[in-house]
Amino acid sequence: MDRSQFNQCVEQYADRLFRFALSSLRNREEAEDVVQESFARVWEKLKTVDFAKAKSYLFTTAHHAMIDQVRQR
Tens-digit pLDDT profile for residues 18-68: 999 999 999 999 999 999 999 999 999 999 999 999 999 999 999 999 999
> For residues 23, 29, 34 and 36, what is the CA-based torsion angle, rounded to 10 degrees?
130
pLDDT of residue 4: 96
Cβ–Cβ < 8 Å for 69, 33: yes
pLDDT of residue 26: 95
pLDDT of residue 38: 97
- Among 70, 54, 47, which Cα is nearest to 14's? 54
Query: Confidence band (pLDDT; 50, 70, 90) for 73?
Result: confident
Q: Model pTM greater than 0.95?
A: no
- Among 8, 12, 11, 20, which Cα is nearest to 59's? 20
